[in-house]
Amino acid sequence: MSGVLVDTSAWVDFFRGEKKAISRLDPLLAGGGAAICGPIYSEVLSGAPTRVQFDRLASSLRGLDWLEPRQDVWQAIAESRFALARLGNQAKLVDLYIAQCALAHGSPLLTRDRDFEAIARAVPMDLEVF
């Protein structure tokens, strides 16, 4: 198992100084247990207010454990999205990609985004919504 995959929503709250996010992420960052994947990296960086902050943040995030999905990720996403649609849920492709990265590594997904609760019905991942 790799570290905890920290979703964009958790990073946003962390950078906004929200106490719950800080208390959850600080120990992960201090212990090297925070992980990231490509879509989360891109989403977090796109919110940087200046180029200087973008570059600083990019450098910091590149130092985290990076999780890649399985080779058949798009088949797994299609299967999950199909199953969710049959349950009445329409999941975003990016969220399903993130969920598949967590699943592939046996990593918990730390998020503030409740959309992942529905996704967890089709993707058997360890989910921590705080």
Average pLDDT over residues 84-112: 97
Measured distance CA(26)–CA(51) in Å, rounded? 25
Measured distance CA(64)–CA(74) in Å, rounded? 24
Domain boundaries, the chain: 4-129
Average pLDDT over residues 2-10: 95
Q: What is the CATH number of domain 4-129?
A: 3.40.50.1010
pLDDT in tens, 56-70: 999 999 999 999 999
Question: Shortest CA distance to 125 belongs to which of 107, 34, 68?
Answer: 107
pLDDT in tens, 33-89: 999 999 999 999 999 999 999 999 999 999 999 999 999 999 999 999 999 999 999
